[in-house]
Amino acid sequence: MREAVDALPPLTVRLGRLVGTRVVEVATDAWLGARTRGLVRNEGALRRVSVGGDSEYYEAIRLTWWRRIMSTPTVVPRESTFVDLGAGRGRALLLAARRGFREVVGVELDEALAEEARANLRRWSSRRGTRGRAQTLRVVVGDAATFPPPRGPLLVFIANAFGVTTLHHVLTALCSTPRGDEAAFIAYFNPQREHVFADFPRLVVHARGDDWVVYRLVGAPGPGAPGS
Ligand SMILES: C[S@@+](CC[C@H](N)C(=O)[O-])C[C@H]1O[C@@H](n2cnc3c(N)ncnc32)[C@H](O)[C@@H]1O
């Protein structure tokens, strides 16, 4: 099979891959009952308004990528909150809702995308009827840099949504908020700014793959941290 693909002209291979990706993306949305696919080059506009000035554009997380990063055990979904920092049209939110997270929160700076994510979640809620009554789903229009991490067992998801400055704000907030013995994890897909984690010794690598890493929060905030 590999030899057969190698023998094709490069343009044909590229075209084949594009068509393949498109088919998978349409099928993913059909399965989710949502419209989340696509690429939105919104980073220029967002960089002008974001705290860190380092926003990345919208591209939906692919199902295979999601499955890779979520393959490692972290929190117990039915007892935990899932937060997607840079939620876009809400694909990861829908996938987390399907996994049964008690609370699913999207933070998205682009108002239009946040509205689309809300519409997608509304459709999901109406389809699931009363089965998921204990589940809360919400999308906040705002900057990840200023979003306070919720209490309780927590999984924060970041799919390369922003650069160093915003990531620094996010990790500072997580590490300086007292959490008692509540578990907290960060799942970072396409971890281009992973070096920032080196400034946060309370965040230790829990699991790692080729294009993802999951960190676990350990210990307690040091003296001088808010609430300490
Ligand atoms: C790669 S996409 C994330 C895809 C999404 N998590 C999913 O489930 O498919 C990055 C998203 O982050 C958003 N974004 C960029 N900077 C942000 C910021 N500072 N705060 C919140 N959202 C931001 C972009 O608008 C974009 O929707």
Q: Which ligand 1 atom is nearest residue 113's CA?
A: 27
- What pLDDT shows up at residue 131? 64
56 and 86 Cβ atoms separated by less than 8 Å = yes
Which residue owns the Cα nearest ligand 1 atom 16?
A: 55
Ligand 1 proximity of 42 Cβ (cutoff 6 Å): yes
The DSSP call for residue 144 is: G
The DSSP H or E segment spanning 188 is: strand 184-189
Of 160, 154, 209, nearest to 177 by C-alpha is: 154
Strand partners, 215: 186, 205
Q: Which helix (H) or strand (E) holds 103?
A: strand 103-108
**CB of 87 closer than 6 angstroms to any ligand 1 atom:** yes
**Residue with CA at minimum distance from ligand 1 atom 15:** 55
pLDDT of residue 128: 79
Report the nearest-CA residue for atom 8 of ligand 1: 92
Which of the listed residues 36, 42, 58, 156 should we mutate to test ligand 1's pocket, taking the one with most ligand atoms within 8 A of CB? 58
Q: Measure the N-to-C terminal CA separation of the chain; round to a whole number of Å.
A: 60
For residue 80, the model assigns a pLDDT of 97
Q: Where are the alpha helices (DSSP H) in 33-110?
A: 43-49, 63-69, 91-99
- pLDDT for the residue 14: 74
CB 117 within 8 A of CB 85: no
CA of 117 to the centre of ligand 1 (A): 11
Q: What six digits make up the tokens of 117? A: 């994510």
Determine if ligand 1 sits within 6 Å of the CB of residue 174.
Answer: no
Kindly report the number of other CB atoms within 10 A of residue 224's CB atom.
7
User: pLDDT averaged over consecutive 10-residue blocks of the chain (228 residues)?
Assistant: 71 74 92 95 98 98 95 95 98 96 97 98 84 84 98 97 98 93 96 98 97 94 57
Classified by CATH at the fold level, domain 38-217 comes out as: Rossmann fold (3.40.50)
The reported pLDDT for the residue numbered 15 is 74
- 3-state percent breakdown (helix, strand, coil) of the chain, nearest 5: 40, 20, 40
pLDDT of residue 6: 74
- Kindly state if the Cβ of 72 falls inside 6 Å of ligand 1: no
Check residue 132 and give its pLDDT: 58
Nearest CA to ligand 1 atom 23: 86
Query: What is the residue extent of each domain of the chain?
Result: 1-32, 38-217
Alpha-carbon Rg for the chain in angstroms: 18
Taking residue 129's Cβ as centre, other Cβ atoms within 10 Å add up to 8
